A and B are shown apart, each in its own frame.
Chain A
């Protein structure tokens, strides 16, 4: 709603001065919205899958509450394998899968598939690090009270890691902003598509610069919000 209204206002304002370039503000706003939408959904999906993976990675480690060397090794290898594929190649490799899931490999909805799949192993490692920061003493204390593994995960590992996990969300979302621009080049929509088709293919350097500035603002915004969110959680506990 807000985007639409602002777009119209700016359009009417700029129509007089920009002439044939009058389409640009509306297009940029729409592309920005598409990018935010892709990043938001794929961040959410990657955490829904990545968080449990991180918990498995941590708790199946040697000496931990669900020690299982086999699961740990296999999962670790899979995560590493996905992380070692460059995103641009993953994007192409996943086209058939995207078609099966979404029905098409073009557009913002289709981009969410490779973006999420690329982010899941990243999130798994990121959250793993957050959880490992927790002092073992807390886990030991819970064990000494007779807690089972699930109680430790739910009542100790997750709540204690929240401030750090939240910072990780910002890092992931910022990464996904970058990835979404790459997906845009392959017809994924958003600011990437705009920059590529207009800024690069049609030599509209102005459009290119506008998308760069919008991306810059977007990234700053995500970082500021992430840091504020984390600080909020921490300061509540002080």
Chain B
């Protein structure tokens, strides 16, 4: 669907060169919800704008369905943009137009005959659940409703791709969930590919199939959301995950020494469960099978997109050999284990 090759963007401001994107390579598949997460200033906003050429890349190319957008002339670019919907953090609705006419706007731009356009707007407002607000001006709407109008507007020309630029960042958590649900429904019903950027790991967790982590102008990690959650490969990914899953261990516990005689040691572990194994009593089986004691410090079960995802921080106490055997048992049963501290 989208293929980004060696994309770099350098801003030239006041004789000073600022690197916004550095050698970005990324592939987004047809029909998936792909998230790009990064802190503000990491380059994600520039990256999403390069895809519809609101920002011109310095080097590299971007293929959308095989067509290189960086080589397009103005005319071709306008036609391409009509087929790429975009939604924004601050909605960007026209205050001079009613909800109906805002959704009508892209259809006017594309030159769709009025009768057909009006019918389309009606359908879209129904899709986003705002048929009763058609004659109202954006000023009267709540943030969530405004974003629904934005989504209806973005879908007007039946796009092949939807770009979401921090679309939920100005919304409260509850509204965020309802907007993400709408995006997931659209993705499912229309098979529409969605590329979103966010700084909120919850958005990735709730909506995305795959994620790219961007840090300091570079993509540092790309992968399945579940595998990044269970096994983050970089400190940046880890810190994003920690923003929503409490994995920080209090200092006192981390540095407490419970070694009282030579053969008994303790190990601090983080165990992640994905999918079906989250529902199995593996812990108690382990404790029965091996002669180790467990001290549970933190536990949590959550959902990543539609899969249960649990995580448990515990301290195992016993002989080194038994602890290692217990850990192997957990690994064999498909759990991810991370040793947090060694004596």
B-contacting residues of A (Cβ < 8 Å)? Answer: 135, 137-138, 140-148, 151, 155-156, 159-160, 162, 236-238
Contacts and interface: CB of A to CB of B under 8 A. Distances in A.
Contact of B78 (A146, A156, A162): A146
Interface stretch (B84-92, B220-228, B286-294, B317-325): B84-92
B106 A145 contact: yes
A135 B163 CA distance: 20
A152 to B, nearest CB: 9
Interface centre among B79, B94, B110 (most CB of A within 10 A): B94
A151 B20 CA distance: 30
A156 B96 CA distance: 8
B81 A237 contact: no
Interface of B: 52, 54, 77-82, 84, 86, 88, 90, 92, 94-97, 105-106, 108-110, 137, 139-140, 153, 157, 163
Contacts of B79: 146
B81 A146 contact: yes
7 contacts: A141-B88, A144-B54, A145-B110, A148-B78, A151-B109, A156-B94, A236-B137
A187 B163 CA distance: 64
A159 B96 contact: yes
Contacts of A236: 137
A160 B81 contact: no
Nearest to A144: B86
B109 A143 contact: no
A128 B23 CA distance: 40
A137 B54 contact: no
Given A144-B81, A146-B82, A159 B109 contact: no
A138 B137 CA distance: 15
Contact of A237 (B77, B86, B139, B163): B139
A147 B109 contact: yes
Given A146-B82, A146-B106, 13 more contacts: A141-B92, A142-B109, A146-B77, A146-B78, A146-B109, A146-B110, A147-B109, A156-B94, A160-B95, A236-B137, A237-B96, A237-B139, A238-B140
